[in-house]
Amino acid sequence: MVLIVADALRADHLGAMGYPRDTSPHIDDLAREGVLFRNLVAQSSHTVPSVAALLTGDYPGALGIEYWPRMRGFSEDAVGVPPTLPARVDTLAERLQASGFETAAVVANPWLRDDYGFAQGYERYLVSGADGSALRHGGAAINDVAMEILRAERDRGLFLYLHYLDTHNPYGRGHVPARYRTDVGREVYRNGRVPELADVDLEFTRALYDEGIRYFDGLIGDLRARLDEEGLLDDTLIVLVSDHGDEFYEHGGLGHGKTLYNEVIRSFALFWSPRFAPAASDLPAQGIDVAPTVLRLLGLKPPSDVAGRALLDERGRPIERAAAPRFSELGPIKTVVTDEWKLLVGPRGVERFFRIRPRLGLEAPVAAPEPDVASELRHELARHVSSRRREEPRAPADIDASTREALRALGYLEP
């Protein structure tokens, strides 16, 4: 099976999610043929905690790998602490490896390094950003390496994790063809608030972003075609997800990793196999549900010691289940989402309530819901926060120069 994570791919910029631009014809084809969950909450708007949740089935707080924006790192006690996925955590790769699967990963985001704990369970773990190459080697190179691995392991059960950066900033890279941009405007990018932003610059920046999506979509089409040519497609389960989205001034900012508004935590999960009956589901889902679902689809029992639950049965049919609150977190910023409501609590405890629109669209702010609704949302969020596992305080550590440069180029570190 192939698990594909598209970094910073905003769900509502896909045709399958209703976007008017033709950004995703190949992904839309997979969505029409597979099972698409359109109502999924990502567990953070930063790659590290969100991917940790995707690959383990548990919340970032329970894993002890939250991102703290004001500390510019992964500790509330010190500035600049790099992430650590604890060895005590059982990853999806470890669970599959223990069941006899070969495991491999090709990862472009330099945060997801092996020495940060993300290589747990992999026989082969390649991080293109670890030597500063994250921007020089994009998704086309990932496809080439992926096919080498798939050919070599074609007669054995294989779990292959591919993490692409082609939808991440900086937008408008030289290898991405111009398609939507105009001759006016300039790219503006930062993670966080932008005091003033001209409409033409916003539209130009959004157009560059959409061009990156269209380029990535071509990579998905290429990978599928090559799997078909090798005779591997009919035996391959493909799972496509996004770790988070990017904001485009909906709340006065750009990028990700600073807020938990729906433009950055609304995501999706797409499961494709030739044996699945096509379906588009609005059932509530979370990033933590992906790993248990993969295990179920591969004939293994999902773990009972994590918060995530399988979205599909063994035949790829959506599982109806009782509605439950969903959570996303970013250090001191927390949110709880139900079918109708969302409570967002800021770093100083300021509460904001939202009414959820159909399919978890952009939320509509309200002064406050009925007292019993507000009380229940507060109770659920407090219960979730109380389950957070506090790791031992960690000191800042030096990030090697090549990784630091790659992270700076991606907007994670200050210039």
Domains of the chain: 2-409 (3.40.720.10)
Token pair 């957070």 is found at 388
Task: Using DSSP, state whether 414 is helix, strand or coil.
Answer: coil
- Which residues are within 8 A (CB) of 27 and not within 5 positions of it... i.e. 6 or more apart? 14, 15, 16, 217, 220, 240, 270
What is the pLDDT, as a whole number, of residue 397? 64
361-370 long-range contacts, Cβ below 8 Å, gap at least 24?
A: 361/12, 361/262, 361/266, 362/250, 362/261, 362/262, 362/263, 363/261, 363/262, 369/341
φ/ψ (deg, to 5) at 155: -95, 5
Find out whether 362 and 410 touch, Cβ atoms under 8 Å.
Answer: no
According to the model, what pLDDT value does residue 334 have? 97
Q: Are strands 35-41 and 285-286 parallel, antiparallel or unpaired?
A: parallel
Query: Are the C-beta atoms of residues 113 and 385 closer than 8 Å to each other?
Result: no
Calculate ∠ Cα 114-54-376, nearest 5°.
135
Q: Is 224 left (phi over 0), alpha (psi -120 to 50) or beta?
A: alpha
d(Cα 126, Cα 112) in Å, to the nearest integer?
10
pLDDT value at residue 133: 47
Distance CA(75)–CA(80), nearest Å, equals 8
Q: pTM of the full predicted structure?
A: 0.94
CA–CA distance, 408 with 132 (Å, rounded to integer): 10
Reading phi first (left if > 0) and then psi (alpha if -120 to 50, else beta), residue 41 is in beta
Q: What pLDDT sits at residue 357?
A: 74
pLDDT at 358: 57
Closest CA to 402 of 136, 150, 192: 136
| Average confidence (pLDDT) per 10 residues, the chain, 415 residues | 98 96 98 97 97 97 92 86 92 97 94 93 84 60 94 93 94 88 89 92 96 98 98 97 97 94 95 96 95 97 94 96 92 94 93 79 79 95 86 64 73 67
**Angstrom distance (rounded) from CA 149 to CA 154:** 8
Nearest to 37 by CA among 274, 276, 248: 276
